[in-house]
Amino acid sequence: MKTSDFYYDLPPEFIAQHPAVPRDSSRLLVLNRTSGEITHAVFNQIGNWLQAGDCLVLNDTKVLPARLYGTKTSGAVVEFLLLKNLGNDRWECLAGPGKKAKPGDAFVFLPGRLSCVVELILPDGNRIIRFLYNSADGFYTLMNECGEMPLPHYITEKLSDPTRYNTVYAQNVGSAAAPTAGLHFTPELIHSLCANGIQTAYVTLHVGLGTFRPVKAENIENHTMHSEWYSISAAAASQINECKSAGGRIICVGTTSCRTIETAARLSRTQNAAMLRAHEAETSIFLYPGSEFLLMDGLVTNFHLPESTLIMLVSAFCGRENTLRAYKKAVAEGYRFYSFGDAMLIL
């Protein structure tokens, strides 16, 4: 299939610039992937389409204030966007303008407290940097002091409350972007769903920017995904396995949760194991039309960019025609798109 097969037209005014207040007041388009039927609702009504025994799989990663501005001794300022923690205070990052961030260059973020040195330029232009800081302060404490939330480039309004770019259940720090489908949930909504017999299982996938990079290949099969780290606990694996065995539906909240359990399911199948097991690994799985879904029965997701790997994943699950028809309907009905936009439930 061609990348252009996943294009749709979206007027700029449909791109959400701020999150809904409250979180669960965003709109919800419900798509039956078998019949193609579309229903319009509000997100806090999602329980109407869920049933006791279902299991929501949520990604509990937490977004870093990963956009930092460093100053060289020359006075030049460079923006660093942290992508992946490599250990030992070394990070892979984007740097701009890149020509001002060469190996050996040093940058100060907090004078006398936090700085970095550029160690290496990777073939794709990303940098490897090493942070220098007073360990008594704590690296993440310093990041919270000087870093900014890494909002996507299409969000031009300033975010007044940084916590709105994290889910209410975010726990494990490490993402460069939010798992946005989860932004619609409130503690009260989760409690209400659980009270009605709907389970919640938490996995972790640290979202990198590779997921959101444009597909430049004309043929989508020639696109290479960047890898992202994920972890599945013994409790989550057991819960998902038991739900599936009992005939419950596995409903992923977001494409990141989907990619996590579908990667793990393939690993288990390769090893002739029963469904999921506790482990952590890297995934570069790319799901597009023709891909098989081994575990997922339903998906909660936002509306994604044209020609992106995310709309291709949605199309893999419910069909390209269904997807593009639903997107066209969402535009006609005035839905809000992208990270702070409205949601879809696909069953």
Domains of the chain by residue range: 3-63+161-346, 67-146
pLDDT in the model for residue 101: 96
Q: Mark residue 346 as left, alpha or beta (left: phi above 0; alpha: psi -120 to 50; beta: remaining).
A: beta
Residue 142's pLDDT band (boundaries 50, 70, 90)? very high
Measured over the CA atoms of residue 173, residue 144, residue 63 and residue 196, the dihedral's sign is positive
Q: Please answer whether residues 127 and 93 qualify as being in contact, where contact means their C-beta atoms are separated by less than 8 angstroms.
A: yes
Q: Please answer whether residues 230 and 285 qualify as being in contact, where contact means their C-beta atoms are separated by less than 8 angstroms.
A: no
Q: How many CB atoms lie within 10 A of CB 306?
A: 15
Measured over the CA atoms of residue 84, residue 90, residue 96 and residue 99, the dihedral's sign is negative
Cβ partners under 8 Å of residue 273, min gap 6: none
Q: How many CB atoms lie within 10 A of CB 240?
A: 24
* DSSP H or E run through 194: helix 187-195
pLDDT digits (tens, 9 = 90+) for 232-265: 999 999 999 999 999 999 999 999 999 999 999 9
pLDDT in the model for residue 345: 98
pLDDT in the model for residue 271: 80
pLDDT in the model for residue 212: 67
SS3 (DSSP) at 267: helix
CB-neighbour burial class of residue 185 (10 A; exposed 0-12, middle 13-18, buried 19+):
buried
Q: Which amino acid is at 294?
A: L
Quick one: what percent of the chain has pLDDT higher than 90? 90
Q: What is the mean pLDDT of residues 271-287?
A: 89
Q: Do domains 3-63+161-346 and 67-146 have the same CATH topology?
A: no
Q: Please answer whether residues 306 and 7 qualify as being in contact, where contact means their C-beta atoms are separated by less than 8 angstroms.
A: yes
SS3 (DSSP) at 134: coil
SS3 (DSSP) at 1: coil
pLDDT in the model for residue 187: 98
Q: What is the mean pLDDT of residues 96-114?
A: 96
Q: How many CB atoms lie within 10 A of CB 76?
A: 14
Q: What is the mean pLDDT of residues 284-309?
A: 97
For domain 3-63+161-346, give the CATH superfamily. Answer: QueA-like (3.40.1780.10)
Q: Please answer whether residues 55 and 202 qualify as being in contact, where contact means their C-beta atoms are separated by less than 8 angstroms.
A: no
Q: How many CB atoms lie within 10 A of CB 212?
A: 18
The whole-angstrom separation of Cα 56 and Cα 179 is 14
Has residue 88 got a pLDDT over 90?
Answer: yes
pLDDT digits (tens, 9 = 90+) for 31-69: 999 999 999 999 999 999 999 999 999 999 999 999 999
Alpha-carbon distances, residue 156 vs 143, 171, 182 (angstroms): 22, 27, 21
Cβ partners under 8 Å of residue 40, min gap 6: 27, 28, 29, 30, 333
Q: Please answer whether residues 298 and 249 qualify as being in contact, where contact means their C-beta atoms are separated by less than 8 angstroms.
A: yes
Residues in the chain: 347
Average pLDDT, rounded, for the chain: 95
pLDDT in the model for residue 274: 65
pLDDT in the model for residue 226: 87
Residue 291's pLDDT band (boundaries 50, 70, 90)? very high
pLDDT in the model for residue 269: 87
Q: Please answer whether residues 213 and 237 qualify as being in contact, where contact means their C-beta atoms are separated by less than 8 angstroms.
A: no
Residue 213's pLDDT band (boundaries 50, 70, 90)? confident
Q: Residue 315's Cα: distance from chain center in Å? A: 17
pLDDT in the model for residue 1: 93
- Looking at 3.40.50.9100, 3.40.1110.10, 1.10.10.60, 2.40.10.240, the CATH number of the domain 67-146 comes to 2.40.10.240
